[in-house]
Amino acid sequence: NAGVTQTPKFRVLKTGQSMTLLCAQDMNHEYMYWYRQDPGMGLRLIHYSVGEGTTAKGEVPDGYNVSRLKKQNFLLGLESAAPSQTSVYFCASSNRVSTDTQYFGPGTRLTVL
Amino acid sequence: KNQVEQSPQSLIILEGKNCTLQCNYTVSPFSNLRWYKQDTGRGPVSLTIMTFSENTKSNGRYTATLDADTKQSSLHITASQLSDSASYICVVISGGSYIPTFGRGTSLIVHP
């Protein structure tokens, strides 16, 4: 039982490049989330999904797109990376959104030059 | 605007001592409040989850309290250990939308 895994762990992009971050969970959770964490700030919700095939915007969705084609996977895409997207990205999953524990992945450190 | 404020920003204590971290929030409507521990370079790990009707919840040496009237929560750590060195994050979940609002965290350092 690996829990929540994220790939890659580190990535350096040039401005304008695109990439996809992959999140996978093996706990059969319905809900999945993408957050970003910046120095001196709390985690902020980018997008989330309440089930396979459904996604919704969080607090800071601009510049990102997501897809949930399979229940166990949640993809975060950057179509044209900008330096402002330099951050640590965390994926999380839970059974229900309201009161269940969210399990976080180890994070992806992204640098955009 | 929903906000979660944590204090102190950082704290240094000696191993074996107790400490209390504070969290004030303005999130409304309220669903539940969570405390997470985040070790350096790792994802947050849940410590406690409290709903409106719960005043206290414990997880080993960690005890969280919630006063929904004053919109305040605290996390008390008893008999601190070196492994308690981490960032402690308070999160409030909004009722209805269930969008979380994260505090900036309190950085705790436990010295031997």
Kindly report, residue by residue over B54-100, the tens digit of the pLDDT.
999 999 999 999 999 999 999 999 999 999 999 999 999 988 777 88
Are A30 and A12 contacting, i.e. CB atoms less than 8 angstroms apart?
Answer: no
Give the pLDDT mean for A31-49: 93
DSSP reduced 3-state for B40: coil
Categorize the per-residue pLDDT at A113 as very low, low, confident or very high, splitting at 50, 70 and 90: very high
Mean model confidence pLDDT for chain B:
94
**For residue A111, is pLDDT > 70?**
yes
Residues A28 and A71 sit within 8 Å (Cβ to Cβ): yes
In this predicted structure, what is the pLDDT of residue B100?
A: 87
| Minimum CA–CA partner of B93 in chain A | A98
**Mutate which: B2, B49, B88, vs A, most A CBs within 10 A:** B49
With the CA atoms of A48, A49, A50 and A51 taken in that order, what torsion angle do they form, in degrees rounded to the nearest 10? -170
User: What three-state secondary structure class fits B27?
Assistant: coil
Is it the case that residue B30 has pLDDT exceeding 70?
Answer: yes
Compute the average pLDDT of residues B6-12.
97
**Three-class HEC string of chain A:** CCCEEEECCEEEECCCCCEEEEEEECCCCCEEEEEEECCCCCCEEEEEEEECCEEEECCCCCCCEEECCCCCEEEEEECCCCHHHCEEEEEEEECCCCCCCCEECCCEEEEEC
Peptide bond into B29 cis (omega under 30): yes
Q: What is the DSSP letter of B28?
A: S
Closest CB to B46 among A45, A101, A105: A101
pLDDT at position A97, please?
A: 63
Q: Cβ contacts (< 8 Å) between A43 and chain B: which residues?
A: 44, 89, 100, 102
Mean pLDDT computed over B14-20: 97
pLDDT in tens, A42-98: 899 999 999 999 999 998 999 999 999 999 999 999 999 999 999 999 999 998 766
- Is the pLDDT at A40 greater than 90? The verdict is no
Nearest C-alpha neighbor of B109 from the set B39, B23, B35, B36: B39
CA-based nearest residue in chain B for residue A39: B104
Top residue of B1, B10, B31, B102 to mutate, by most chain A CBs within 10 Å, is: B102
DSSP 8-class letter at B42:
S
Instruction: Report the gap between the CA of B42 and the closest CA in chain A (Å).
Output: 5
CB contact under 8 A, B102 and A102: no
Beta bridge partners of A35: A45, A90
Out of B5-19, B45-59, B87-101, least confident range: B87-101
